[in-house]
Amino acid sequence: MAAFELNDLSGQVAIVTGSSSGIGEATARELGKAGADVVVNYHGEERNADAIVSDIRAMGRRAIKVQADVSDEADVVAMFDRAEEELGPVDIVVSNAGLQKDARLADMSLGDWNTVISVNLTGGFLVGREAVRRFRKKGLREHVSRALGKLVFDSSVHQVIPWAFHVNYAASKGGINLLMQSIAQEVACEKIRVNAVAPGAIATPINAGEREAHLDDMLKLIPHGRVGDPEDIGRTVAWLVSDAADYVTGQTFFVDGGMTLYPGFRGNG
């Protein structure tokens, strides 16, 4: 066993896509707290990205912001290039960027379908593929981690819970599940660990309207009795990418306050 702390990410470089708000932001901050240097990827929200970068730097880490659209192949390659140039080889990649475009099936446009699949699923493929390429190029750095690289996908409870009026989103997350498992199977022998977190209802901008209008209904679906905090997810990711989870690969961690326990069946079904 190496001499460093199992939960410590010191000396490692992490990219978190979509980290200018919500779960991505909390994840970037938690990785920084655990010792990692962090690339804060954003698409639109540059000002938030600046604030997050300066907060992570105030922790004594290195941090940069990089604009990239994860559904654009050239942008993804350029993001990894910038990360390597400015912070060095990348050890940790969190593919988090995602969005919703909700509509009834009959009213869902092909554009709504394509946007969600492009960002949530194709984005996951592009980021995951580039991560694996760069981990191989970097080589093993046993003084910081036993793994050649760690890749985590942000999925959703809706990779297993069907979601009416959100068929594009649910399909993208169902796809992430087999994308994650298939990559994990392909690269496990190289000491690259690939996992996912599947958040339930977390207080982020993606569901702000839903929380405002239907909080009581939402809480009925959460046995734990509260909407999750982004940090609930960030802490799970920080553990998953640390050597404390060195034997964990191909798994999805549902961080959902019990939403996937089908609470509607608590009585007699």
Question: Residue 12's closest CA among 122, 153, 145?
Answer: 145
Copy the structure tokens of residue 46. 């540059």
The answer to whether residues 172 and 112 touch, using CB atoms and an 8 Å cutoff, is no
CB nearer to ligand BGC: give 177 or 207.
207
Other C-beta atoms lying within 10 Å of the C-beta of residue 27: 30
Q: Which stretch binds ligand BGC (CB under 6 A): 81-89, 137-145, 156-164, 176-184?
A: 156-164
CA distance 251 to 234: 16
| Nearest distance from C-beta of residue 52 to ligand BGC, angstroms | 20
The answer to whether residues 62 and 87 touch, using CB atoms and an 8 Å cutoff, is yes
- 168 interacts with ligand BGC by CB under 6 A: no
- 112 interacts with ligand BGC by CB under 6 A: no
Amino acid identity for residue 38 in this structure: V
- 100 interacts with ligand BGC by CB under 6 A: yes
Q: Helix, strand, or coil here: 84?
A: helix
- 196 interacts with ligand BGC by CB under 6 A: no
* Residue 262 is a catalytic residue: no
- From candidates 19, 21, 120, 156, binder to ligand BGC by CB under 6 A: 156
Amino acid identity for residue 187 in this structure: V
- Residue 228 β-bridge partners: 202
Interface map 202-241 toward ligand BGC (x if CB under 6 A): ----xx--x-------------------------------
Intra-chain end-to-end CA distance of the chain, in Å: 48
CB nearer to ligand BGC: give 50 or 112.
112
- 158 interacts with ligand BGC by CB under 6 A: yes
- From candidates 22, 200, 230, 234, binder to ligand BGC by CB under 6 A: 200
Other C-beta atoms lying within 10 Å of the C-beta of residue 216: 7
Q: Which stretch binds ligand BGC (CB under 6 A): 41-49, 50-58, 142-150, 153-161?
A: 153-161
Residues 6+ apart with CB under 8 A from 86: 62, 64
| Nearest distance from C-beta of residue 96 to ligand BGC, angstroms | 12
Q: Of 42, 169, 247, 262, which is the active-site residue?
A: 169
- 24 interacts with ligand BGC by CB under 6 A: no
CA 180 to chain centre: 12
Catalytically annotated residues: 169
Per CB under 6 A, residues contacting ligand BGC are: 100, 156-158, 200-201, 206-207, 210
